[in-house]
Every structure is written in structure tokens, then in C-alpha cells.
């Protein structure tokens, strides 16, 4: 697939739609790049101006529509709550803009079809900001699994539990679109889907009585190749040092123990191997933005494309459906 290219002889002019936590996180990784000029749009002109000043931005807008329709802007970055992602993305595509969109990208996997229809008319890209796909930890684990040093994989145990306070739109079903799995667990669905194994079946379980806005969930998944994975994701479990957790992968000739964030990997199989996959970009943000900018300049898809983003959302829908079926 080819798309309209962004000129490479000047900085990409990128406007954030929304000035909240996500805009702040991404801005920290983008503000030092000479090949990106940042703009900020908010329903509050004062807030947009504050973000522009804080991150050395090139401009600010007092509405999302103003940024979308500004001819100087090449692309927008949708970082509002999930319920507005689809409409803002469609508006931007209509205006001929490339779009970066924060995860979860849309409320339903079927929404991707509307995006593709618009893309055929605009020839512009939609890139989903899933940084976990680019984590050094994930790349290293894929290589170790593929090498066969721990033998045939039998079990995977992924610990993604933590304590996370909300008290914002994430507690509002109409804005959030789902609970902890939908908002943050989608990262880990992406993680278990990209280990070099083919996800086949998934089943979700909620501790306690269970609600539509879950804060803890367990997923049991089986891969076509045979291994079974267990993913624990929670916003209400205490973790050492506010987030250090251990996960393991078990094979017939050894195992892999790793810190879930990516601090270290210890592989025991044909010998012992301790590695530190990439502390400088532990979250994968730098690699993600490098790939996105390259894709925009070349007019080609990034490594993490819409098909993969849609697959992640489909997996979450299957998990939620399995929980609803279990309750009946």
C-alpha cells in the first residue's frame, strides 16, 4: 500500500488533538527531534498555549477543528478519550491529513472498515500508537523463542499487574469504551500476539462478581503451535517498586524469566544468558516514532499497521464476549 508522502526536506508538522496525559507522554519523546514541529489543539485555547510553551511547540489552536483544517498541518495526533477517536480521525482524513491515534484506537474493530474507506479517498495514513509492538523486550523474546534454546514452548505466564488510580474519563463507560483491559490491557494483548506464535483461542475471567468496567482480568490463550499463555492484568494489585514484575516462559529444555517492563531477561536452556534488552528505549516510543516518520516520508505502511491494530481489538472483543457467555 502506498500513500501520499510527507516532504522529507522539512519537519513534519504534527498537531496534537487533546492536551492531557497522553499528549504529555508523547511530547516528551518528540520535542527533541529536529524533524518534527509540534502543534497543540484543545477546547481550551489557554491549555493549548501552555502545552505549546512547555514543549517548545510551533503553534496552538483553540479547537480541534482549527488544527484539522489548518493547511500548514501535515498530520494530527488524536489523544482524546476513546469515544471521540473515530469521529476526529474521519474529520482529519476528510481534510487530507495523516492521522496518528492513541490506543485503544476505536471503540469497535468494525470501525476500521470506515477508516479504510476514507483512506481510499484521501490517500493518507492512519497510524495507531502502540508502543509495545516496538519494545526491545518483545523483539528479544521473539529471537530467543525462535532460536529454540529452551526447547518446545509449553506455557507462558505474563504478569502485568499494578496499582493504577483513575478518577477521570477512564471511569466513564461512555468515554472509555471498556475497563482496564480495553484501556491499558490492549498493550499486553499486543504483546502476547507478537511473540512469534499464532494466537488461536482466548478466554477471559474476572475475579469477584465482575463488572462492565473491570479493573482486573485474567486471559488464558492458546496458540496454534500448542503453547498456552496466561496473562494477568490489573489496576488494583500491589507491585514491587510500583511496577516491577516477573514473567516466565517455560519450554521442554529450559525457561525464560524476564521483568515484565523489559529491565532484564534471563534465559536458561543451552547455557545461561542474562541480557538487558534496551533500557534507553524500554517503552518502545523512540522506535515507534522513528518507524512512523519513515513511513510518512516514504508513503508506506509502518511495521505496526492497521491490520495488526484491528487484530488486537478483535482479540479484546473475543475476551469480553467469553466473559459475557460465562455469566449466562
Q: What count of Cα atoms within 13 Å lies in the side-chain half-sphere of residue 272?
A: 1
Distance between CA 319 and CA 179 in Å, rounded? 12
CATH numbers and ranges of domains, the chain: 12-130+285-302 (3.40.50.720), 136-282 (3.30.360.10)
- The residues of the chain scoring below 50 in pLDDT are none
Quote the pLDDT of residue 327.
Answer: 74
Cell numbers linked to 287: 522506535
Quote the pLDDT of residue 233.
Answer: 97
Quote the pLDDT of residue 212.
Answer: 75
Quote the pLDDT of residue 14.
Answer: 98
Which value, to the nearest 10 degrees, does the dihedral of the CA atoms of residues 192, 197, 198, 203 take?
A: -40
Quote the pLDDT of residue 271.
Answer: 87
- DSSP line for 237-294: S--BTTTB-EEEEEETTEEEEEETTSS-EEEEESEEEEE---GGGTTSHHHHHHHHHH
Quote the pLDDT of residue 32.
Answer: 87
Yes or no: say if 175 and 20 are a contact pair by the CB < 8 Å rule: no
Strand-pairing partners, residue 76, are 15, 99
Amino acid at each position: 500500500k502506498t500513500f501520499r508522502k510527507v516532504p522529507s526536506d522539512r519537519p513534519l508538522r504534527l498537531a496534537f488533538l487533546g492536551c492531557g496525559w497522553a499528549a504529555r507522554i508523547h511530547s516528551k519523546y518528540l520535542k527533541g527531534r529536529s524533524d518534527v514541529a509540534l502543534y497543540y489543539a484543545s477546547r481550551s485555547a489557554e491549555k493549548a498555549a501552555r502545552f505549546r510553551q512547555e514543549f517548545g511547540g510551533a503553534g496552538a489552536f483553540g479547537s480541534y477543528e482549527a488544527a484539522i483544517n489548518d493547511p500548514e498541518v501535515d498530520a494530527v495526533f488524536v489523544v482524546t478519550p476513546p469515544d471521540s477517536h473515530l469521529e476526529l480521525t474521519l474529520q482529519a482524513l476528510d481534510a487530507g491529513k495523516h492521522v496518528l491515534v492513541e490506543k485503544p484506537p476505536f471503540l469497535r474493530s468494525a470501525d476500521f472498515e470506515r477508516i479504510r474507506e476514507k483512506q481510499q479517498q484521501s490517500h493518507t495514513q492512519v497510524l495507531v500508537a502502540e508502543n509495545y509492538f516496538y519494545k526491545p523486550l518483545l523483539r528479544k523474546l521473539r529471537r530467543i523463542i525462535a532460536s529454540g534454546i529452551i526447547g518446545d514452548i509449553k506455557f507462558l505466564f505474563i504478569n502485568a499487574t499494578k496499582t493504577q488510580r483513575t478518577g477521570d474519563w477512564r471511569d466513564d463507560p461512555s468515554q472509555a469504551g471498556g475497563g482496564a483491559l480495553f484501556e491499558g490491557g490492549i498493550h499486553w494483548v499486543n504483546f502476547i500476539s507478537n511473540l512469534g506464535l499464532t494466537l488461536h483461542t482466548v478466554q477471559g475471567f474476572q475475579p469477584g462478581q465482575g463488572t462492565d468496567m473491570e479493573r482486573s482480568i485474567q486471559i488464558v490463550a492458546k496458540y496454534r503451535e500448542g503453547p498456552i499463555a496466561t496473562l494477568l492484568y490489573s489496576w488494583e494489585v500491589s507491585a514491587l517498586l510500583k511496577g516491577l514484575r516477573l514473567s516466565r516462559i517455560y519450554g521442554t529444555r529450559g525457561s525464560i524469566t524476564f521483568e515484565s517492563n523489559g529491565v532484564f531477561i534471563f534465559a536458561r536452556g543451552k547455557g545461561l544468558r542474562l541480557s538487558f534488552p534496551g533500557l534507553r528505549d524500554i517503552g518502545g516510543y523512540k522506535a515507534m516514532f522513528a518507524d512512523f516518520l519513515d513511513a510518512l516520508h516514504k508513503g508506506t505502511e509502518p511495521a505496526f499497521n492497521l491490520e495488526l491494530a484491528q487484530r488486537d481489538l478483535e482479540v479484546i472483543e473475543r475476551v469480553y464476549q467469553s466473559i459475557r457467555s460465562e455469566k449466562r
